[in-house]
């Protein structure tokens, strides 16, 4: 099985918050992890917003190492076209549409790990399997 990990889920690996253990467990039990290039932007922004000093430096280093183990879906014309279609169909936010389009590009056996309830609702409306939210 393939697990698409969105930013809300991956951030829980570096910030101890509600459902962090659930997110980390899901990521360690799935052999194939996929995310979008947009995840790098979102996670780095949120790490900087939530941490400082050595915890920020450590989290950035850990995130960079972890990101190298993920299959990354490019934000190319195909992904953007699919994201636009998804946004029109579900009226979800633009970044959520990019994540959903990226997850769909990862293949039909892909589950979405997210803790974003609006994104999860949009994913379910598209027939996607959702873990987390």
Q: What is the assigned CATH class of domain 2-132?
A: alpha beta
Domain-by-domain residue ranges, the chain?
2-132
pLDDT < 70: residue spans in the chain: none
The rounded distance, in Å, linking the Cα atoms of 132 and 129 is: 10
How many Å apart are CA 96 and CA 111, to the nearest integer?
A: 15
State the Cα–Cα distance between residues 73 and 62, nearest whole angstrom: 20
So what's the pLDDT on residue 107?
92
So what's the pLDDT on residue 31? Answer: 87
At 62 the three-state DSSP class reads helix
């Amino acid at each position: 099985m393939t697990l698409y990990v969105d930013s809300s889920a991956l951030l829980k690996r570096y910030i101890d918050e509600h459902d962090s253990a659930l997110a980390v467990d899901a990521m360690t039990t799935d052999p194939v992890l996929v995310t979008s290039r947009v995840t790098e932007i979102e996670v780095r922004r949120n790490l900087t917003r939530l941490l400082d000093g050595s915890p920020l430096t450590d989290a950035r280093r850990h995130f960079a190492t972890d990101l190298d183990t993920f299959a990354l879906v490019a934000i190319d014309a195909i992904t953007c076209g699919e994201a636009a279609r998804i946004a029109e169909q579900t009226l979800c936010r633009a970044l959520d549409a990019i994540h959903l389009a990226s997850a769909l590009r990862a293949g039909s056996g892909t589950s979405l790990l997210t803790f974003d309830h609006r994104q999860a609702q949009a994913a379910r409306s598209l027939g996607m399997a959702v873990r987390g939210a």
